[in-house]
């Protein structure tokens, strides 16, 4: 979102364009994702011991969870940096990484071997975070692009 704040920088005036709602979403999503990931590891430990889980499926879903950890961490980090530095490529990468991450959450929500009710709740909350981050990232990209054309 565009802000009307002006900062003096050796005689130059610069408008701050960073999106506060996007930054807040990325911050809280970082903490929620850590909670989500720990819960998922514990749920997989439970499902692996209690449910008749095929070994290859369990291993594949755990590997997917570790892959999600790497991609989501990079996505959130690049999104925060892109928003704060007002860099279009960084936010573009963050938005592009939303697509595979959404597919992983949908997989855990619908297609994994056993889906527990608590996983449905955890994944829906994560998808809500992603939807709002995607929308606010697009708004920030448009705002940054418009400001670039006027400089």
**10 located within any domain:** no
Q: pLDDT tens digits for 32-84?
A: 999 999 999 999 999 999 999 887 999 999 999 999 999 999 999 999 999 99
Question: 29 in a domain, yes or no?
Answer: yes
The domain in which residue 115 lies consists of 20-150
**Residue 8 belongs to some domain of the structure:** no
Prediction pTM value: 0.87
Does residue 5 register a pLDDT over 80? no
List Cα–Cα distances, 127 to 53, 101, 134, 135, in angstroms.
26, 9, 10, 12
Residue 6 lies in a domain: no
Number of domains in the chain: 1
Neighbour count for residue 147 (Cβ, 10 Å):
14
Q: What is the pLDDT of residues 101-132, one digit of tens each?
A: 999 999 999 999 999 999 999 999 999 999 99
Enter the DSSP assignment of 151.
-
Q: Is the Cα dihedral 123, 126, 130, 132 positive or negative?
A: positive
Alpha carbons 67 and 15: distance in angstroms, whole number: 38
């Amino acid at each position: 979102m565009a802000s009307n704040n002006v900062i003096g920088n050796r005689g130059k005036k610069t408008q701050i364009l960073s999106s506060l709602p996007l930054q807040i979403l990325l911050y809280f999503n970082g903490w929620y994702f850590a909670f989500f990931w720990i819960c998922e590891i514990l749920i997989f430990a439970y499902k692996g011991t209690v449910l008749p889980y095929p070994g290859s499926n369990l291993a594949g879903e755990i590997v997917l969870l570790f892959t999600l950890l790497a991609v989501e961490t990079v996505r959130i980090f690049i999104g925060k940096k892109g928003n704060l530095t007002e860099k279009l490529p960084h936010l573009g990468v963050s938005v592009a990484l939303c697509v595979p991450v959404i597919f992983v959450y949908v997989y855990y929500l619908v297609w994994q071997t056993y889906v527990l009710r608590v996983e449905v709740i955890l994944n829906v909350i994560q998808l809500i975070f992603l939807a709002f981050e995607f929308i606010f990232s697009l708004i920030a990209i448009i705002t940054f692009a418009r400001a670039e054309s006027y400089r």
